[in-house]
Amino acid sequence: MPKDFLALTDWSRDDLDKIFTLTRDLKDKQKRGEEHHLLKGKTLAMIFEKSSTRTRISFEVGMFQLGGHALFLSSGNTQMGRGEPVQDSARVMARYCDGVMIRTFSQQLVEDFARHADVPVVNALTDLYHPCQVMADLFTVIEHKGSYRDLAYCWIGDGNNMAHSWINAAAVFGFELRVATPKGYEPDAAVVARAKKMGAKILYTQDPAEAARGAMVLNTDVWASMGQEAEQQEREKDFKGFQLNRDIVALADPGCIVLHCLPAHRDEEITDEVIEGPHSVVFDQAENRLHVQKAILVTLMG
């Protein structure tokens, strides 16, 4: 089992399935009001270079529920923000804390930090991957459909870090994935090549209808992610026709579920009608960030 949680493709399906099993157990314990202080006395450093709502709250609350402590560290208020070498920060933090969570821009920074830290490092989002989110998404699928297996999944929108994480998930878990992106916004070629080498069953298309037809899980994200705000107007033009709306949902399986990692730009990449509609499990999905991340932390730090 890997020391760190940096990308899904670093892990085996069996080990990730064990995280799902532990997630179910921890969620049940919390719902019953049972203490589960599996990380009592342990500390998680949380480094943020990107703003956050769900990530900060879920990790901080999760560590509290596990009997540990979380430290919020904004990069602008640490020596990392003033240019301290990553290897120096990693070595020092590893001597103070039992684990480190990083939410940042560069995947390379997270990997460099993990290489020099003697404690587990969790990727809480980079511009390349968002593995914790897709684990929460798949656990939500398990809750609503009984299993993540033998289902058709659909991604509509930008070929961004979430698209990459779904591509990785298809490679590891073996399910069918359709990815619909506008021309010029395709997923990273290296991510695609790695998934293909692992035998992933993925259809890449520029037609959202083709991707959605018969799918059981529909998924999207904002068209302009953090750091791309200046491209908002241009992207709105380029993504015309890629909205997750009533017509797209009607093409999917009648029992389909709709996911969105949030925050959502309602009536842009997804309509208000769909996100509030009967197929939406968006807020179950958001809640499950807490439970899945607790399981990841216990697996790495317990």
| Count of residues in the chain | 302
Residue among 103, 164, 178, 235 flagged as catalytic: 103
**Torsion region of 74: left, alpha or beta (phi above 0 gives left; psi -120 to 50 gives alpha):** beta
Residue among 4, 130, 178, 291 flagged as catalytic: 130
Residue among 127, 289, 291, 293 flagged as catalytic: 289
Let me know: does 124 contact 102? Beta carbons within 8 Å: yes
261 is catalytic: yes
Strands 121-123 and 99-103: what pairing? Answer: parallel
Numbered residues of the known binding site for carbamoyl phosphate: 52-55, 79, 103, 130-133, 261-262, 289
103 is catalytic: yes
246 is catalytic: no
Numbered residues of the known binding site: 52-55, 79, 103, 130-133, 161, 221, 225-226, 261-262, 289
Residue among 260, 261, 285, 293 flagged as catalytic: 261
Numbered residues of the known binding site for L-ornithine: 161, 221, 225-226
133 is catalytic: yes
Q: d(Cα 276, Cα 109) in Å, to the nearest integer?
A: 37
56 is catalytic: no
In terms of Cα–Cα distance, which of 265, 39, 109, 187 is closest to 177? Answer: 187
Residue among 221, 243, 260, 291 flagged as catalytic: 221
Within a 13 Å sphere around the CA of 242, how many CA atoms are in the beta-carbon half?
A: 27
Pure H helices in the chain: 13-31, 54-65, 86-96, 107-116, 131-145, 161-173, 189-197, 208-212, 232-238, 246-251, 272-275, 282-301
Residue among 4, 65, 127, 133 flagged as catalytic: 133
Catalytic residue set: 103, 130, 133, 221, 261, 289
